Amino acid sequence: MARTRAFDEALALDGAMHQFWAAGYHGSSLASLLAATGLSKSSLYDTFHSKRALLLEALARYERFICSESPISPVMRPEAGRADIESALRDYVTWAASADGRYGCFANNCIAEIGPHDAEVRRAATAITGRIEQAFHDAIARGQAAGDIQRRDPPRTLARFLLNNVAGLSLAAKSAPDRDRLDDIVGVALHSLD
């Protein structure tokens, strides 16, 4: 008879995501992952099988975070338009200027740290950034159709530009910049839609 798990797997995965996000894959030791998840070594390996598999699960958890809980989530809604792009970027600045913001974007961190050496991790992380790009694309297309976005460049081009700005904000956040610097970046990005 199989034993019932005596822990909340979602809560453990959340802890692992935050550990990897804060310290990186190589900077997250087994001891730090056990502390972050609250699991014993056997429970961690019985549930997630390996550190790499845990990272992939953490990336999947991060994708759900991006869509529903993150500062960028307003643009992820199916009906998002110009106002949602502005809201997402301004909320992102608030987050980036906070203590949590210094960790940057978990997906981009994985692309930079592990992506060059692990195609599966790279695919998982770039799928997340691709989903954000697609959300920007769709919101821009709706904004152009509604007349809220005057710029007539292709939505894909503008979406890539905005995604690049978000990635830049994430990187800038790691150096704990003052809020004015981040506001300047977003101001120019939003002006590019006019």
Q: Please count the other Cβ atoms lying within 10 Å of the Cβ belonging to residue 65.
A: 17
Write the CB contacts of 47 (distance below 8 Å, at least 6 apart in sequence).
5, 9, 12, 39
Within 13 Å, how many C-alpha atoms sit on residue 103's CB side? 17
What are the tens digits of pLDDT across the range 29-87? 999 999 998 888 988 898 889 999 999 999 999 999 998 889 999 999 999 999 999 99
Query: What is the helix, strand, coil percentage profile of the chain, to 5?
Result: 70, 0, 30
Residue spans of the domains in the chain: they are 8-69, 72-194
Number of H-type helices and E-type strands within the chain: 10, 0
Q: Which residue has the tokens 């730090």?
A: 32
Fold of 8-69: Arc Repressor Mutant, subunit A (1.10.10)
Fold of 72-194: Tetracycline Repressor; domain 2 (1.10.357)
**pTM, 2 dp:** 0.89
Distance CA 45, CA 51 (A): 8
pLDDT score of 176 more than 90: no
What are the tens digits of pLDDT across the range 90-142? 999 998 888 888 888 999 999 999 989 999 999 999 999 999 999 999 999 99
The letter for the amino acid at 85 is I
